[in-house]
Amino acid sequence: MARHNIRGAYLACTGFLLLALALPAFAQDTPLERADDRIRARDYAGAVAVLSDPALADNAEALWRLASIYETGVGVPKDASKSIELAQKAANLGQIDAAYRLGRLYLEGDGVPVDHDLGISWLEKAAAAGHVRAAEALVQAALAPPAPEAEPAPAAPVPSDPPVASKLAENIGWTALMEAAQRNAVPAVEAALAAGADVNAADTVGQTALIHATKRGATEAIEALLKAGATVDAVDAKGQSALGYAAETRHPNATQVLISAGASPILVDKAGKTPLDLAMEVGDCASAEALLQNMTSLTISASTHANLGGRALAFCAGPVLKKLVSLGLDLSVIDSKGRSTLWRAAAAGNGGGVSYLIEAGISPTTPDAEGVSPLLAAAAAGKDGPIAPLIMAGAKLNETTPSGNSAAILLARAGAEAGLKSLIEAGADLDLRNAQGESALMLAARNGHGEVIKMLLKAGADPWLRNLRREYASDIAKSSGHADLAGLFE
């Protein structure tokens, strides 16, 4: 930790204190409040005079204000020694900002001799009283060895000490090994292990260093921990293993490392989910593919199966879907909204998944319960990818949603040029109008899609159609703030 970082953190803290006190307020009667009035008026010398009153000698807040003023040197001569003395008194009386400041200063030796143990003691006192930054500083200290009491230039490089965990961190089960692992700090991991750290120790929620490393995708640390004997299938209080977290947090490289080390892809957590369930829920297709490589039966929860394989079926392409089908996943299931697997893949823009599902025999035209087909679902989402395979499979080009929007209108509205081009080439009617009387050309004008306007005009779309408001597409362009496009209609 660089010394200027500590200095900056403290100055920011004291500066905020003085700035907050500088806000307008009504006059007060107590000595402390009179001092605050002086600070608000930027009369710092007057504030010092009030705060130095013997009646406030045991007032932690008054002492902390004095320490802040002397540290920053605003309105009074800067006096670091006096500031530290006042901060110690304030901290001993329970002022946690003062305790935090002292902890950081003693760790770094900024204005005081380096004293690692004393610095940690002050930080623990502040953290125990709820000081968030003090707690964070303790975790940071878990990675670093104590600062040297002196700084002699060594004749030759010497090995670094292992990380030292703070007492507070130990109270919540957080070890230096866990901190090093989740930061992917392999040298610190190795140092902690060499110092005797338990590679399988768990924190208060049952998570080991391996789980913490996995949640961050720290593959090098994962490998170091496994090499040191970490239990690959250890589970936490939720019954979730490192492999489950790799899938849930979308870290496919970590998934592969864990599988190679023998992690079980069929462990079921307390929510009834396997790593494959978790991968499919978040659409981590790479992890799903790795998990499926060596599986011989479909280990997937009933809820995920009923939900058509979750998001994986919407986002993953052929390899994952093919393996799922070979293991028994029923792709013909329709969900509660009447949506097929292909419908959902189309709505998600998964062109590869749509192509595979068409080959697997899933209908490309079956609408959902609201009468919206896969083609319209893809167009409504502005997704280009599924349009061409759906057209090739026989999708109805000119069908409309209940509000009268065709696929051409929806794609023009979204500015989806590739999908619209596929419709044009297939012979879609470009002059269909929706319930507001608006055509694809009008929607492109309203949304400022110049290239789409050019494409539609070139394909023969009629620029002289009017909507229910009797507006031409050129009028819509102007009223929508796209006057520069109006010239395209001339």
157 domain-assigned? no
In a shared domain, residues 487 and 382:
no
CA distance 368 to 362: 14
Q: What is the pLDDT of residues 184-222, one digit of tens each?
A: 989 888 988 988 889 999 988 899 999 999 999 999 999
Give the CATH number of the domain where residue 73 resides.
Answer: 1.25.40.10
Q: Give the count of domains, the chain.
A: 5
269 domain-assigned? yes
pLDDT at 436: 94
DSSP 3-state of 202: strand
In a shared domain, residues 3 and 103:
yes
Q: What is the pLDDT of residues 421-467, one digit of tens each?
A: 999 999 999 999 999 999 999 999 999 999 999 999 999 999 999 99
Torsion over CA: 434, 440, 446, 447 (sign): positive
108 domain-assigned? yes
Domain boundary among 330, 351, 382: 330
Question: How far is the CA of 282 from the CAs of 18, 194, 233, 313, in angstroms?
Answer: 47, 37, 21, 11
CA distance 449 to 458: 14
Amino acid symbol at 315: F
In a shared domain, residues 250 and 341:
no
Does the pLDDT at position 27 exceed 70? no
In a shared domain, residues 266 and 348:
no
In a shared domain, residues 131 and 19:
yes
Amino acid symbol at 116: H
pLDDT at 356: 87
Does the pLDDT at position 385 exceed 70? yes
In a shared domain, residues 202 and 247:
no
Q: For residue 51, give the nearest of 64, 41, 40, 42 by alpha carbon.
A: 64
Give the CATH number of the domain where residue 275 resides.
Answer: 1.25.40.20
In a shared domain, residues 476 and 344:
no
In a shared domain, residues 128 and 38:
yes
Mean pLDDT of 71-81: 78
In a shared domain, residues 11 and 128:
yes
361 domain-assigned? yes
In a shared domain, residues 6 and 139:
yes
Range of the domain at 200: 173-231
Phi, psi of 208 (to 5 degrees): -85, 175
258 domain-assigned? yes
In a shared domain, residues 131 and 226:
no
CA distance 478 to 457: 17
Phi, psi of 406 (to 5 degrees): -85, 170
Mean pLDDT of the residues in the chain = 81
In a shared domain, residues 49 and 123:
yes
159 secondary structure, DSSP code:
P
Q: For residue 218, give the nearest of 172, 184, 268, 168 by alpha carbon.
A: 184
391 domain-assigned? yes
Q: What is the pLDDT of residues 295-304, one digit of tens each?
A: 777 655 544 5
